[in-house]
């Protein structure tokens, strides 16, 4: 993890409104920045958030990614929860690549949640990254398996892909760490950034 620069800094604000919320309803702060990881000059093998506090209802990760391989539809990746590499993850997705709309699923045989087209690659326009927003709902409720939702896009100049995904991690353990690994190549490139937020109930 040495190439990764992790920062914690102050942030002021008023509140979390959500879809369609009015300005008035956004008066109480319920959306907090927890931590940010930005890849430095050296490629990072993964991006990880550890020691996630249990003081929220939901978690959200937002950020931009760029990987090293030259896959036709951009870089994909894996999300691993609590360092658990057992085969209890699954995911479904749908999206489009500018030519066709597509959908698919990954069964419960993977060692992490597979998410497609989350990053641009070295073959894309320089300085161009894929935008991502992932929600981890009820992440600390030990009565439920963990459910995730992703909104992902790689916004490449010539063949951008946009998609939606849902994933399941079949464990009732509270999430205390989240690691995002690249699907191929050597890792995440400089300026790739993911920020973790907590949303209060």
Which residues bind to another protein, rule: CB under 8 A?
Answer: 7-17, 19-21, 23, 26, 29-36, 53, 55, 62-64, 94-101, 125, 127-131, 133, 151, 153-164, 191, 193, 195, 197-198
Structure tokens at 26: 């956004």
Measured from the CB atom, the residue of 111 and 190 that comes closer to another protein is 190
Measured from the CB atom, the residue of 112 and 182 that comes closer to another protein is 182
Q: In the complex, what is the shortest distance from the CB of residue 147 to another protein, in angstroms, rounded to a whole number?
A: 19
- Rg (alpha carbons) of the chain, rounded to whole number: 17
Measured from the CB atom, the residue of 114 and 152 that comes closer to another protein is 152
Give, rounded to a whole angstrom, the gap between the first and last alpha carbons of the chain.
32
Between CA 163 and CA 15 the distance in angstroms is 28
Q: In the complex, what is the shortest distance from the CB of residue 156 to another protein, in angstroms, rounded to a whole number?
A: 7
DSSP structural state of residue 174: P
Between CA 55 and CA 107 the distance in angstroms is 31
DSSP structural state of residue 24: G
Q: In the complex, what is the shortest distance from the CB of residue 183 to another protein, in angstroms, rounded to a whole number?
A: 18
Q: SS3 for 86?
A: coil
Q: In the complex, what is the shortest distance from the CB of residue 49 to another protein, in angstroms, rounded to a whole number?
A: 11
């Amino acid at each position: 993890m040495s190439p990764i620069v992790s920062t914690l800094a102050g942030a002021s604000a008023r509140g979390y409104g959500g879809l369609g919320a009015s300005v008035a309803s956004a008066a109480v702060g319920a959306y907090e920045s927890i931590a940010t990881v930005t890849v430095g000059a050296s490629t990072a093998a993964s991006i990880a958030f550890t020691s996630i506090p249990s003081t929220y209802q939901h978690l959200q990760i937002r950020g931009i990614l760029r990987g090293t391989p030259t896959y036709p539809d951009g870089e994909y990746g894996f999300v691993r929860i609590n360092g658990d590499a057992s085969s209890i993850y699954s995911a479904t997705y749908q999206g489009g690549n500018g030519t066709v709309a597509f959908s698919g699923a990954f069964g419960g045989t993977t060692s992490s949640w597979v998410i497609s087209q989350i990053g641009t690659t070295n073959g894309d326009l320089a300085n161009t990254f894929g935008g991502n927003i992932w929600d981890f709902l009820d992440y600390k409720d030990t009565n439920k398996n963990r459910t995730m939702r992703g909104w992902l896009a790689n916004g490449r100049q010539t063949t951008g892909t946009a998609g939606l995904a849902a994933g399941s991690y079949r464990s009732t353990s509270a999430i205390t760490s989240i690691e995002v690994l690249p699907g191929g190549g050597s890792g995440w490139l400089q300026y790739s950034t993911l920020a973790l937020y907590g949303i209060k109930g």
